[in-house]
Chains A and B, each alone.
Chain A
């Protein structure tokens, strides 16, 4: 799914891609609990596949219940190796409960794109 977003970003540009990501009805980028999210490198959410309320908010100081500054880690990965995994807790869009999640992030131009899986529900993944 990350590759798909990257592909679209490269072909259709940022605005179109963000819109596509935000659009929950777009199956290309929404599969059960899987969705992409895009932030700029200052930690401002520019597109979110599950929680549109976050778009436009700076989440640089966001941390989960275990104290993981997940956005900051993602920015570090993007600026450093360019891609990698981050483990944290995040509300499941399906259940609206906070669950363990592992997300893969990748740098994408001035942004980074990430897609994560909820690990609490192995049967579903």
Chain B
């Protein structure tokens, strides 16, 4: 490891020198080895010539000589059988016996040799044994042959057997000795081969070592250089994973690699910034080259089309990307090929278009052509934006609660309907107003009210055709545009259906709710051919339906229009009247029945209309109340009455009528306080007349105002008592000072016993409650006679004086005041 490290860190020049040195050492090693090997061969050769070859010769001679001896034995027996001369036989026998003995000695000599191998010695022993046996058999045969030739012949068989054994033994020995020689030969040949091999292997090893050294050197030089080249290529193609190879080397390679790493780091930082910018774009961005291959793209691009990072690698053909999108099911099926054609068309111009995808997304695709035939393309998902836009558009045209079209959209639809009227169709506009919806809100709460409106909307939807339009105009008002009526009566049928639908009971949050509706119908073209006209006339008809007692429907009639117009003009006049000082106050005296003196005046308003003349309060007060104008008018009355009354004698009060609307208005107490202060009238001289309808509201606001005013010292009288409910509980709920008995009782007093009894009853009731009573509407002396004994404190009526202007009552007062002062 350490040596490897050293190798890496040596400079290239040192390495080259080291390599040459290694080669030189190799060559010396090979030469030395070859020399040593040849020395060993000489020793082996000596062993062969000095020992083995002589032994081999001896054994070979034994073989020859033993065979010769055996032949002599055969010859002897043969000669004996064939009657050869006895002297010859004797000579041959002696010769053979000599040979046998000599052979025994030779074998013994062989056995005595010191240079026998152990295995070889065994073989020689065996030979010796076999020879002894043979020799004995041979000499027996010779013995027998001397006298008995046939028997000797007989014995030759056994002798021959023994010879065979000797022969075999000798052959084995011979083979062994041969083998030994051969083995030395083989050793020699082996040595020679070794020598050759050492030279060859040595040479080869030298070559290998040289190659190895060269490889090692090249490994430490060439490979790093290749690596450097590869690394440069990688970095230039933006593959930054260099690893730490060669980085820590201190030679030239190390320097190069570190330089590349520095370059790589800079490039990486740059790329990271670029990637961060690219991948954090909300748009999908891609660049294609002239061959329609992806050059670069950001993450969003792949995400938008459900592609994996692999599928959007640079180099991917556009066709493949488009096919991937088709495979992802993003394009409507039959058009897939069309998309491919469209996308693959050469990008010569820049373009922007919107692509609707199968999954409901909308993508804005902007393509910017480049000089090389490629292009940069951005994909922006505008689905959410579109959805928001359409939702906003929907919200602008629809009611949030019921999701019905609103007034704006109704007008548009009506416009469209009228355009069809011009082509000969008849259209009806139904104006639907829920009756007493406010009561539902007040008693059950707004949540239930809202649920009811939704339920009503649902029922209305169920009544109309698809071509018709339902709208909610706000509050409890709905409208239906009925298209293409066959005859006008169709509108009545629909109105009845709508009404029946609305009328059925609802169950909301456990509350059973029943609500009715009033419907006004205007037909086009008869009742108008503009949106304004139709809306107004349907509204008028609905108003008329309500006036007719609700729960019904009315067609628009011209008369309605006239009445409404009149009302409208009066409204305008009424608003102007206050500014133009057209109101007057008239005063009617209230007289003490006992003394006949005036105790107070009731202030009564009059409207001096510039063209109509004097208008009765009953004609304009309800309108003023409805319009809320009663508040400023009432304020004027209070101020005027206070200012007038201060001019009268100190004991005369002024009575002013208060409307329930005025009492609900929070400014009343302040208005009254200011009027008293400004005029200087003591509060005790001001009296307010209120009807029981004020107390029917019985709101905390009303009662608080009444008590505050009473605390100022102002007196209160219950007006028009005896009409309406006349509930005694109202008398208990607020401490009135006075009860004014309605004029209707006096009117019939002469023929009605009941009226008298009632007046008497009220009077005694009032007395027991510490209140005084005033009888209104006394017009004749006869009436006065009737009421006089009933115990009333005061009377009011034409018998004494009609309501008169301030100037006139001054005259009425003056003489009395004088009379009084003179009396005093």
Q: Which residues of B contact A51 (CB under 8 A)?
A: 144, 148, 151
A64 in complex: contacting residue of B136, B148, B154, CB < 8 Å: B154
A53 proximal to B (CB < 8 A):
yes
A63 in complex: contacting residue of B147, B151, B158, CB < 8 Å: B158
Q: Which residues of B contact A9 (CB under 8 A)?
A: none
Cross-chain contact B161 with A53 (CB below 8 angstroms): no
A123 to B140: give the CA distance in the assembly, Å. Answer: 35
A57 to B158: give the CA distance in the assembly, Å. Answer: 12
B150 in complex: contacting residue of A59, A63, A98, CB < 8 Å: A98
A102 proximal to B (CB < 8 A):
no
Cross-chain contact A62 with B143 (CB below 8 angstroms): no
A125 proximal to B (CB < 8 A):
no
Cross-chain contact B161 with A61 (CB below 8 angstroms): yes
Give residues of chain B (102-151) contacting chain A, Cβ–Cβ below 8 Å: 136-137, 140, 143-144, 146-151
Give residues of chain A (60-104) contacting chain B, Cβ–Cβ below 8 Å: 61-65, 67, 90-91, 96-98
Q: Which residues of B contact A67 (CB under 8 A)?
A: 157
The smallest beta-carbon distance between A7 and chain B, in angstroms, is 28
Cross-chain contact B150 with A97 (CB below 8 angstroms): yes
Closest-by-CB residue of B relative to A71 is B158
Q: Which residues of B contact A61 (CB under 8 A)?
A: 137, 158, 161-162
Q: Which residues of A contact B153 (CB under 8 A)?
A: 91, 98
Closest-by-CB residue of A relative to B136 is A58
A61 to B158: give the CA distance in the assembly, Å. Answer: 5
Q: Which residues of B contact A63 (CB under 8 A)?
A: 157-158, 161
Interface class of chain A by DSSP: loop
Q: Which residues of A contact B149 (CB under 8 A)?
A: 96
Give residues of chain A (10-45) contacting chain B, Cβ–Cβ below 8 Å: none
The smallest beta-carbon distance between B736 and chain A, in angstroms, is 173
B455 proximal to A (CB < 8 A):
no
A54 to B143: give the CA distance in the assembly, Å. Answer: 9
B260 proximal to A (CB < 8 A):
no
B330 proximal to A (CB < 8 A):
no
Q: Which residues of B contact A54 (CB under 8 A)?
A: 144, 148, 151
Q: Which residues of A contact B146 (CB under 8 A)?
A: 53
Closest-by-CB residue of A relative to B140 is A57
A54 to B147: give the CA distance in the assembly, Å. Answer: 10
The smallest beta-carbon distance between B202 and chain A, in angstroms, is 62
Cross-chain contact A53 with B144 (CB below 8 angstroms): yes
B216 proximal to A (CB < 8 A):
no
**Number of residues from B at the complex interface, CB < 8 A:** 18
B155 proximal to A (CB < 8 A):
yes
A59 in complex: contacting residue of B143, B158, B162, CB < 8 Å: B158
A64 to B158: give the CA distance in the assembly, Å. Answer: 9
B144 in complex: contacting residue of A57, A64, A96, A98, CB < 8 Å: A57
Give residues of chain B (159-191) contacting chain A, Cβ–Cβ below 8 Å: 161-162
A65 to B160: give the CA distance in the assembly, Å. Answer: 12
The smallest beta-carbon distance between B156 and chain A, in angstroms, is 10
Q: Which residues of A contact B158 (CB under 8 A)?
A: 59, 61-63
Q: 1/0 contact trace for B237-252 toward A, CB 8 Å?
A: 0000000000000000
Cross-chain contact B150 with A96 (CB below 8 angstroms): yes
Cross-chain contact A65 with B157 (CB below 8 angstroms): yes
A64 to B136: give the CA distance in the assembly, Å. Answer: 19
Cross-chain contact B157 with A64 (CB below 8 angstroms): yes
Q: Which residues of B contact A52 (CB under 8 A)?
A: 147
The smallest beta-carbon distance between A37 and chain B, in angstroms, is 12
Q: Which residues of A contact B140 (CB under 8 A)?
A: 57-58
Q: Which residues of B contact A59 (CB under 8 A)?
A: 155, 158
Closest-by-CB residue of A relative to B139 is A57
Cross-chain contact B147 with A98 (CB below 8 angstroms): no
Residue among A52, A53, A91, A97 with the most chain B CB within 10 A?
A53
The smallest beta-carbon distance between B80 and chain A, in angstroms, is 11
Cross-chain contact A57 with B150 (CB below 8 angstroms): no
A59 to B162: give the CA distance in the assembly, Å. Answer: 12
A98 in complex: contacting residue of B148, B154, B155, CB < 8 Å: B154
Sample (15) of A-B pairs whose CB atoms are under 8 Å apart: A52-B147, A54-B144, A57-B143, A59-B155, A61-B137, A61-B161, A62-B158, A64-B154, A65-B157, A90-B154, A91-B153, A91-B154, A96-B149, A96-B150, A98-B154
Q: Which residues of B are at the interface with A, using a C-beta cutoff of 8 A?
A: 136-137, 140, 143-144, 146-151, 153-155, 157-158, 161-162
Q: Which 8 A-B pairs have the closest CB atoms?
A: A91-B150, A61-B158, A53-B148, A63-B157, A53-B144, A53-B147, A57-B140, A62-B158
12 extra interface residue pairs, beta carbon distance < 8 Å, beyond A61-B162, A67-B157: A54-B151, A57-B143, A58-B136, A61-B137, A62-B154, A63-B158, A64-B157, A65-B157, A91-B148, A91-B151, A96-B150, A98-B154
